[in-house]
Amino acid sequence: MPSQSLTLTAMSVSDAEIICSWVYEPPYDCYNWPSWKVMCEQEIEFADDAIRRQQYCSLVLAQKLVGYIQLFPLASTMRLAIFLAPEHCGRGLGRHATALAIAEAGKRMPGAEIDLEVECWNQRAINSYAKSGFTITDQYSYSYKGVMREVFCMVYKPEWELA
């Protein structure tokens, strides 16, 4: 799929509601969100208007929502989270989506370190991030939604820094 047709847009309420309907198969089901109704009742993440505007963008291909990113500022670091709709995973969009996320992070926090967390078992994502210039720098565990997560922290190293 041509990268120039994948675009980043502000996440709309409609996009957020669609994302809540996505169903990932195991082991990726840890990325499933609660229903939109529950998200709104509990003001979880992108159901909160301010958080959605500040941290979330939609990935659009041929006018169709195919994924989303989160840009979460942490002191001097911009942490990324990049998600593709289940039917678009493993189809070559990861590097294009990652490039758009890196560019947006650079606009929002020029000069900041860019990193992300990825489950240690998610080799598909690890490979995609590595091809996009991310390097594993740390490994740690923490509890999220009552489940222990074992993750790698990967930091973006532009090609000119690797030389």
Q: How far apart are the first and last CA of the chain?
A: 29
pLDDT at 160: 59
Structure tokens at 35: 């229903």
d(CA 153, CA 155): 7
What is the total count of domains within the chain? Answer: 1
Domain extent at residue 98: 3-162
**Residue 72 · residue 25 · CB < 8 Å:** no
Q: What is the mean predicted confidence (pLDDT) over 71-80?
A: 97
pLDDT at 147: 83
We report the CATH number of the domain holding residue 127 as: 3.40.630.30
pLDDT at 3 over 60: no
pLDDT at 90: 87
Q: What is the mean predicted confidence (pLDDT) over 24-28?
A: 95
Specify which residues 122 forms β-bridges with. none
